[in-house]
Structure 1
Amino acid sequence: MNLSDQALWRKPQHYLDSNSNSDHVHWLELFYDLVHVVSIFVLGNYLSHHLGFNGFFVFAALFIVVWLAWFDLSLFNSLYVSTDIHHRYIMSAQIVTVMLMSSSITTIDGDGWAYFAMGYAINRLIIANLYRRARFVSLDKEDPFPCEMSRNFGIGAAIFGVSAFLPKPYGYLLFTSGVILMICLFTLPKLGTMRYERSIPRIGHMAERFALLLLIVAGEGFFKLVITLSDVGIDTVSADVFVNYVIGAAAIFVMCWMYFDFVGDGKPKNTHQKTLIIWALAHLLLMLSAVCIGVALSAEVKVGFWDNYPYKYAVIGCLGLSAYLFSLLMIQHVIEQRQAQRSAITKIRWFGIIMAGVTLLFVPYIPSILGNLLWGIALLSQVIVPVTSAYRSFARKTTE
């Protein structure tokens, strides 16, 4: 047996060239996701303390940037089967960059910005090195894909590094330009690296990566509920607050139920560039809205039945639910149809979206118990109607 047959010494190979590739997620990737548990939690805390328009804009921008850092490394690990000792060292360095970015989010408006930008620059530089390494060990030495990816990430690293030292707002503008440039260099038709066939990842692997991160993002909502009740004082709240507490936890559970029954682990209908882009962006919006819902639900333990639900929390909760349902709708349209989707028709999704909007209109004028009822109808209809429809269909076929 050759040393290269051992996972610890096997050099990275594109999955099209490898006999040892699998759609299942490696433990290294799961460990990398653990760091994003912290970053998403810190981002949620930032939104909780900055519920105005400007605060939401900063939160959304940071979430997108952090999500892209997760996606880019996940994409590499999906394209290249890489488990050797050098890759493990590199992954540990990537984890440190995410830790650095996460630690600077709370002071992103001040001195934390320079640390965040530098952490992101190093993160990009490490991915550039990953593709450079893959290029030199590739069976196809003339393959231009890893070369262009390494070059593009190197350019991005330089831009983000410079932005860390520029005065505001010029640093922000340069950083934003760098993010847009990186996206264009990957997705532009006929120019971006997506034009190469070898840019298509292991679809099953990426579907599993999306599903696992969604669990993490939704799970942050439980953290928010538990910590908020702990801060308020579990021995000081009334019985109706405990009911709201349960409602919040149930809502998060239903969100996961909706995702995994209807789209979770779903594979795109085809590997066309437009399909893959919609699939990825819809998951980005889905996860961003899930964080918003989690933050909004944390206010459940701050009000009784007859109090008005805090309006700023209600706004991100209702808009977050609308965006979540719209994202599910987008994903449903681009993945292979499954049995559950036959009952989850488009009208149900739009009913939930509209109902969330209606809730937002009435929530300032009604007690929280009625606001929760309206919002709950928007959410629960997404599982109750499909399940009821599927049961009736099954019963009818059994009778026949």
Structure 2
Amino acid sequence: MALENHPMWRLPRHHLDTEDAHDHVHWVELFYDLIHVVIIFLLGNYLSDHLSFSGFLVFAGLFIAVWFAWADSSVFNSLYVSTDIKHRMIMCSQIVTAMVMAASIPHVHDKGWMFFAIAFAINRLIIAYLYHRTNRLGVEESKLATHVSRNFLVLSVLFAASAFLSAPYSYLLFGLGIFSIQMLYMMPKVGVLENQRFLPRLGHMSERFALLLLIVSGEGFFKLVITLSEKGIYKASPSVIVNFIFGGIAIFVLCWIYFDFVGNGKPKDNKKWTLVSWWLAHLVLMMSAVMIGVALAGEVKVGFLEPYPLKYGAIGCTGLAIYLLSLLWIQFNIEKRVAHRFATVKIRVFGVVLALVTLPILPHVPAIIGNLLWGTALISQIALPVTKAYFTLSEEEQAKTS
């Protein structure tokens, strides 16, 4: 077999230029996702330790930055089928930058910021090089690779500069860079999305989104298990154990409603704003999933009769409302599936309203009542559609056979 036909020596190829491109995620991409397990866990810890409005803003900013670092790499790997040795080594270096970002998060307020910003800048520089490499190898004959490579090169300098400024100027410059990344994608006429070659493998990206959602949701399990293990499961009262189990079930249901109604769903068309909505809705969805995971750690801090910790309840109720709205947002932008007949706007709105109504009630009722209200908001999102689907489809089947 010629070397160029072997995956370890085959040059990167745009998926539109090859007939054997598939949507499955390569193991190198999965390994890159693996480091984000640690990052999401540390981001959740940060939010747990800074349950205030300012703490949430820092958490949200860090999450958005890390999510884009993951997403931009995923987009490149979706555009260009890259499996050769050099690409694997480049991805290895990108994983190292993600490791440094993760280790910087607990101290990002002070000396950790410089490490986070520099690692993020190098991560962007690596993306610039990946696109430059496709251009240099003659893989991409259009201006796509040149355009994107130049954008990320300039932005990497911007992010690096933010590492050496004092707050708040460092954060403002960094935030400007994050905003600029999206504008360089979306701007009319000059944005990268205007290039017809900028069309990732949508099935591949939907699979990446689904895998990351599992990672993000898994952070909630980490929080629950570690919080109880540190407390000592042998010290926990029966009510705390029940709350602990409820938290695990809630995380499972979060994944259930995602995969039944939008998981692995491709955008309904290739229009720019459909793709942008699909993209941004997943960002918001995953950030809200982390919020819920952090909030559920409060389950092992109280029994049935004490009020649920308000700060945990605030991010849990708000997070659930945002999660359900994001699901609806994604649902509007993907191909229709049978489940959409039963996951109606009214059901989603019911869950959102009940989650928000629960928030002001939490300080005044026992935790068991708060859990009942919040749990109803969540579990209704699968129980109502499934029940409705069962009776509707059964009636339709009877009508066909009669």
Question: Into which bin does the TM-score normalised by the smaller protein fall?
Answer: over 0.9
Residue 395 of structure 1: CA displacement? Answer: 1.9
Partner of 2:122: 122
Residue 398 of structure 1: CA displacement? Answer: 3.0
- AA paired with 1:137? L
Structure 1 position 109 matched with structure 2 position 74: no
Partner of 1:276: 275
Q: Is the 8 A contact 2:79 2:199 kept in 1?
A: yes
What is the CA deviation profile of residues 84-113 of structure 1, one whole-angstrom value per residue up to 9, with x for unaligned ones? 000000000000000000100100000000
Residue 253 of structure 1 aligns to a residue whose secondary structure is helix
Partner of 2:309: 310
Partner of 1:263: 262
What is the CA deviation profile of residues 333-376 of structure 1, one whole-angstrom value per residue up to 9, with x for unaligned ones? 01011011111111000000000011112111000000000001
Partner of 1:145: 144
Partner of 1:337: 336
Could you tell me how far apart the structure 2 residues matched to 1:62 and 1:10 are? Answer: 36
Q: Is the 8 A contact 1:14 1:138 kept in 2?
A: no
Could you tell me how far apart the structure 2 residues matched to 1:255 and 1:173 are? Answer: 34
Residue 307 of structure 2 aligns to a residue whose secondary structure is coil
Of residues 166-175 and 229-238 in structure 1, the stretch that sits farther from structure 2 once superposed is 166-175
Partner of 1:80: 80
Unpaired runs of at least 5, structure 1 = none
Could you tell me how far apart the structure 1 residues matched to 2:382 and 2:288 are? Answer: 18
Q: Is the 8 A contact 2:12 2:139 kept in 1?
A: no
Residue 189 of structure 1: CA displacement? Answer: 1.4
Could you tell me how far apart the structure 1 residues matched to 2:66 and 2:96 are? Answer: 13
Residue 139 of structure 1: CA displacement? Answer: 4.3
Partner of 1:18: 18
- Between the aligned residues of both structures, percent identity stands at 57
Residue 385 of structure 1: CA displacement? Answer: 0.5
Residue 199 of structure 1 aligns to a residue whose secondary structure is coil
Could you tell me how far apart the structure 2 residues matched to 1:77 and 1:251 are? Answer: 33
Structure 1 position 157 matched with structure 2 position 156: yes
Partner of 1:365: 364
Residue 145 of structure 1: CA displacement? Answer: 0.3
Could you tell me how far apart the structure 2 residues matched to 1:319 and 1:122 are? Answer: 34
Residue 16 of structure 1 aligns to a residue whose secondary structure is helix
Structure 1 position 191 matched with structure 2 position 175: no
When normalised by structure 1's length, the TM-score is 0.99
Could you tell me how far apart the structure 1 residues matched to 2:295 and 2:289 are? Answer: 10
Residue 277 of structure 2 aligns to a residue whose secondary structure is helix
Q: Is the 8 A contact 1:13 1:138 kept in 2?
A: no
Partner of 2:134: 134
Unpaired runs of at least 5, structure 2 = none
- AA paired with 1:228? T
- AA paired with 1:129? Y
What is the CA deviation profile of residues 8-58 of structure 1, one whole-angstrom value per residue up to 9, with x for unaligned ones? 001111111123311000000100000000000000000000000000000
Structure 1 residues 373, 140: closer, same or farther in 2, change over 3 A? closer
Q: Is the 8 A contact 2:298 2:312 kept in 1?
A: yes
Residue 399 of structure 1: CA displacement? Answer: 2.6
Partner of 2:210: 211
Residue 51 of structure 1 aligns to a residue whose secondary structure is coil
Could you tell me how far apart the structure 2 residues matched to 1:264 and 1:212 are? Answer: 10
Of residues 65-74 and 181-190 in structure 1, the stretch that sits farther from structure 2 once superposed is 181-190
Residue 396 of structure 1: CA displacement? Answer: 1.0
Partner of 1:48: 48
Partner of 2:28: 28
Could you tell me how far apart the structure 2 residues matched to 1:398 and 1:5 are? Answer: 51
Could you tell me how far apart the structure 2 residues matched to 1:288 and 1:116 are? Answer: 19
Of residues 82-91 and 187-196 in structure 1, the stretch that sits farther from structure 2 once superposed is 187-196
What is the CA deviation profile of residues 233-271 of structure 1, one whole-angstrom value per residue up to 9, with x for unaligned ones? 111110010000110000000000000000000011101
Of residues 5-14 and 388-397 in structure 1, the stretch that sits farther from structure 2 once superposed is 388-397
- AA paired with 1:372? N
Partner of 1:39: 39
What is the CA deviation profile of residues 212-248 of structure 1, one whole-angstrom value per residue up to 9, with x for unaligned ones? 0000000110000000001111111100100001100
Partner of 1:291: 290
Q: Is the 8 A contact 2:148 2:192 kept in 1?
A: yes
Residue 138 of structure 1: CA displacement? Answer: 3.1
- AA paired with 1:299? G
Coordinate RMSD, CA, aligned? 0.8
- AA paired with 2:89? Y
Could you tell me how far apart the structure 2 residues matched to 1:325 and 1:123 are? Answer: 32
What is the CA deviation profile of residues 148-202 of structure 1, one whole-angstrom value per residue up to 9, with x for unaligned ones? 0000000010001111111222211111111111211111111111100111100
Q: Is the 8 A contact 2:134 2:140 kept in 1?
A: no
Could you tell me how far apart the structure 1 residues matched to 2:384 and 2:335 are? Answer: 21
Q: Is the 8 A contact 1:241 1:301 kept in 2?
A: yes
Could you tell me how far apart the structure 2 residues matched to 1:175 and 1:399 are? Answer: 60
Could you tell me how far apart the structure 2 residues matched to 1:329 and 1:22 are? Answer: 28
Aligned length, in residue pairs: 399
Residue 335 of structure 2 aligns to a residue whose secondary structure is coil
Could you tell me how far apart the structure 2 residues matched to 1:344 and 1:390 are? Answer: 9
Could you tell me how far apart the structure 2 residues matched to 1:140 and 1:310 are? Answer: 54
Runs of 4+ in 1 over 6 A off after TM superposition: none
What is the CA deviation profile of residues 53-87 of structure 1, one whole-angstrom value per residue up to 9, with x for unaligned ones? 00000000000000000000000000000000000
Q: Is the 8 A contact 2:14 2:140 kept in 1?
A: no
Could you tell me how far apart the structure 2 residues matched to 1:181 and 1:354 are? Answer: 34
